[in-house]
Structure 1
């Protein structure tokens, strides 16, 4: 006798877990706006995940103990969510009427978001693309794209919000 796994929420057509959105300081507001729209439409909470790449999860778990990668270069407030980020999220979502919270994640953003999504039973992960700047292009070449890492290794839906898309004016789909 084989055991049939329980249907996942995204497979049954309904969303019951939170929408997890990757956030970072200076991020284009469209990413959070789109995540909030999806969360409001699905009537689920919005969970904003801030991945701190300067710390790593000690036991590999979400929300567990974290330690700085460079313990010598750390002040006593290592690993906190920047107050400016929390304030920017609050300002942007104040009038949206969506329940939201922020969680600190440790390590490489794609893996940290995937761990958190699994731990909380997220219905979807939302991330943005990078801006079209030289520094972003170099970072993508060396570290890769968070969105690419997620949609290749994730069992739940991943919504990638284009930030500053480059669409040619003469782009005819004839």
Structure 2
């Protein structure tokens, strides 16, 4: 009996749907289960509103999925889950582009950065506000 492949995606209430939907694409391509993991040190069970939201956005995706409630540091918890599941990859999103989000990322460091340094699996970072190469300085003529 073979163990099914898994893709772990970090989720949280209010997160952009783009992150989960892109993770679902990877899961479908790997014929893997999508494991939606929320690391919240103050919660003992997965947020039912987040589960309902995930159900709505994943309903038309051709992928099996589940949820996992994690505690502790999000990067460490996601890494440990990915290790225990032997996930093929970990998917996370960038923080929001607000000043508050940028300050949080500066002082606490990004989850993606911490995962990349501690994880022996691929870490895929989904940008919330992708920039076109045409938008970069010196690229437009």
Give the C-alpha shift of residue 137 in structure 1: 1.2
Aligned to 1:22: 10
Partner SS state of residue 50, structure 1: strand
Cα distance between partner residues in 1 of 2:15 and 2:122: 21
Aligned to 1:162: 127
Structure 1 residues 128 and 170, CA gap change in structure 2 (3 angstroms): closer
Cα distance between partner residues in 1 of 2:131 and 2:51: 30
Listed as ranges, the matches of 1:1-174 within 5 Å are 17-54=5-42, 78-167=43-132, 169=135, 171=137, 172=139
Cα distance between partner residues in 1 of 2:127 and 2:102: 15
Structure 1 residues 169 and 45, CA gap change in structure 2 (3 angstroms): same
**TM-score under structure 1 normalisation?**
0.73
The answer to whether the 8 A contact 2:5-2:30 is kept is no
Cα distance between partner residues in 2 of 1:152 and 1:170: 27
4+ residue runs of structure 1 moved beyond 4 angstroms? Answer: none
Cα distance between partner residues in 2 of 1:115 and 1:173: 43
Partner SS state of residue 135, structure 2: coil
Alignment gaps of 5+ in structure 2: none
Partner SS state of residue 33, structure 1: helix
